[in-house]
Amino acid sequence: MTLTISVPATSANLGPGFDSVGLAVNLYLTIEVLEPTTHWYIQHELGAEVPSNERNLLLETALQVLPSLQPHKIKMLSEIPLARGLGSSSSVIVAGIELANQLGQLNLSGADKLAIATKIEGHPDNVAPAIFGNLVIANSIDGKTNHVTAPMPETGLLAFIPDYELKTSDSRQVLPSEFTYHDAVAASAIANVAIAALLTGDMALAGQLMEQDLFHESYRGKLVPEVSKIREIGHAQGAYATYLSGAGPTVMIMMPLDKLETIKSKLDAQKFSGQLLELTVDTQGTKVVH
């Protein structure tokens, strides 16, 4: 039996959709399940710091879902850069749940997978689009998870991925522990209208509000010095929005398709230390091929 599981990268928050909004994009984690063995073994090229046995997050997740799984040899290939704000750990968690689902013939629903993934990850913003594809708005309160999946309005996507890592735990340390009632209402109102604009296809309004986020970007932006210059270039060239992807440091730029090449060339001219990738929205989410 050959089984292949493919999970897309994700860009979370989209500004004010903090911990609840995410977009699937076309970078992929691919898991190929090979022959049964006596011990789990993962073949990968991710470096010595990534375990090849049951301590790998993929297998920790799968065995959490179903401890009795028959061990297999697995080949893991990831296009998703680690600790860059593109959902690398979430993609592994989702792949682990799907691995258990397929090998254990569990027949989990999408909602089941999201509930398990959110419990492991802590919030649904990355795992939800990794499962369902497209744009997903989700929440989790008291163990109950809700989600809405929607098509993303047409937009060009450029991701500037810096050479340096920024771990989510470090990025969360700069956030405030509480908001005043007034600030919470203001931040929530911005998020509400941003989501409404996305769902009705008004990218110009959505982009304006994404850049007015009060929840995290003003705090985390200090950790990613490139973001202010990239946003300035975006504004000058007619981009919809520039935002920190997830916890950063990846900076995502959304723009009309006819502006993409100009903005790309302007950003290339800056010679920032990192890579600039043109991305598209993944509309399928997790894919399984037998």
- Phi and psi (nearest 5°) for 223? -85, -10
Cα angle vertex 87, ends 85, 88, to 5°? 105
pLDDT tens for residues 145-167?
Answer: 999 999 999 999 999 999 988 77
pLDDT tens for residues 188-227?
Answer: 999 999 999 999 999 999 999 999 999 998 888 888 999 9
Annotated binding site for ATP: 81-91
Cα 221 to Cα 165, 217, 227, 289: the distances in Å are: 14, 5, 7, 40
Q: Is the pLDDT of residue 135 over 70?
A: yes
Annotated binding site: 81-91
State the chain's mean pLDDT as an integer. 95
Quick one: angle between helices 226-236 and 260-268, nearest 10?
140
pLDDT tens for residues 67-101?
Answer: 999 999 999 999 999 889 999 999 999 999 999 99
**CA-CA-CA-CA dihedral for 89, 94, 99, 105, to nearest 10:** 160
Mean pLDDT of 163-173: 82
* DSSP code of residue 281: B
Rounded distance between C-alpha atoms, residue 197 and residue 209, angstroms: 9
Phi and psi based region of residue 143 (left: phi greater than 0; alpha: psi -120 to 50; beta: remaining)? left
pLDDT of residue 145: 95
Which structural domains are found in the chain, ordered by start?
3-151+282-289 (3.30.230.10), 156-279 (3.30.70.890)
Q: Is the pLDDT of residue 244 over 80?
A: yes
pLDDT of residue 18: 93
Phi and psi based region of residue 152 (left: phi greater than 0; alpha: psi -120 to 50; beta: remaining)? beta
Answer yes or no: are the C-beta atoms of 96 and 59 closer than 8 Å.
yes
Helix (H, G, I), strand (E, B) or coil at 115: helix
Rounded distance between C-alpha atoms, residue 211 and residue 218, angstroms: 10
